[in-house]
Amino acid sequence: MSTTAGNGKVDSHLVLVDVGSRGGLQAKWHPHAESIRAIMFEPDPAEAARLRAQIGPNSRHMVFDCGLSNIVGKQPLYVTVNALDSSLLRPNVEYLANYEIRPHFQLAGYAEVECTRYDLLYYQDQAPRPDVIKIDVQGFEYQVLLGFGSLLQDCLGIELEAHFYELYRGQRLLHDIISLLSDYGLVLRTLQHVGQFDGDLVEVNAFFTPPRRAIASLTSLQRQKFDLLTQVWELSPYHPL
């Protein structure tokens, strides 16, 4: 595993790539803000500008006002009544009709989002190599992960929203994400139930890390970052082999 940035320099901060960063850094990271370098993606120009103002002009953090995907270019955004449920995938109204939350997913309009791949930004020295990735993009998580390419094999942790059923047409489900990340040496560590579907288990927050056997090969800096991640995510620590 590597901890280098795109320019080859080692980043001593934990590089946290936050895809769908509306509202800013998650509260659980606030006590460790001095140890983190946040790379935030927010395609809403107004929200991206607010985030930039929040972090200040000389910050080590970065804000990109674009979306991430596995392809480069403009993609349609399906804007829903509840803006937090908007997605690059169309809501699956037939499935959502079963739940009281369905009005939140009603279409309110359309927009276009400029998207890029994260690995492209990295190899162009525009963004650092990620240590941790957090993704909240309403059913588009799989495509975002594909856009990281081989950088996934160096990740210490991935947190994302995932589903057991299609809330959006054509979305990839949790088992697809598990299969993809296993190809890059990452394992599912824990799930958190998101209870918005009348008591049914539909949506979860899923957390992935390298397996126990991989931890022994981490550098001392990587191990510090991994230990911080384990603390913030409240994971059971790995015992030495």
**pLDDT digit of tens for each residue in the chain (241 aa)?**
444 544 456 789 999 999 998 888 899 999 999 999 999 999 988 999 999 998 888 889 999 999 999 999 999 999 999 999 999 999 999 999 999 999 999 999 999 999 999 999 999 999 999 999 999 999 999 999 999 999 999 999 999 999 999 999 999 999 999 999 999 999 999 999 998 899 999 999 999 999 999 999 999 999 999 999 999 999 999 987 7
Residue 196 structural domain = 14-70+121-232
Indicate whether 147 belongs to any domain.
yes
How many domains does the chain fold into? 1
Q: Residue 31's domain is classified under what CATH number?
A: 3.40.50.150
CA 135 to mean position of chain CA atoms: 2
The dihedral over CA atoms of 30, 36, 39, 43, expressed in degrees to the nearest 10, equals: 0
C-alpha distances in Å from residue 14, one per residue of 77, 117, 128, 192 = 31, 21, 11, 23
Task: State the DSSP code for 21.
Answer: -
Task: Specify the pLDDT at position 168.
Answer: 97
In a domain, 219, yes or no: yes
Is 8 a domain residue?
no
How many CA atoms within 13 Å lie on the side-chain side of 60? 14
DSSP E strands, the chain: 14-19, 36-41, 62-64, 67-68, 73-80, 107-116, 132-135, 157-163, 187-194, 203-209
In a domain, 54, yes or no: yes
Is residue 80 in some structural domain?
no
Q: Is 139 left (phi over 0), alpha (psi -120 to 50) or beta?
A: left
At 215 the three-state DSSP class reads: helix
DSSP at 225 = H
User: Could you tell me if residue 111 is inside a domain?
Assistant: no
Residue 209 forms part of a structural domain: yes
**pTM score, whole prediction:** 0.94
Q: Locate 209 and state its tokens.
A: 């890390």
141 lies in some domain: yes
Q: Rounded distance, CA 151 to CA 135, Å?
A: 15
Q: Which two tokens stand for residue 88?
A: 């690059």
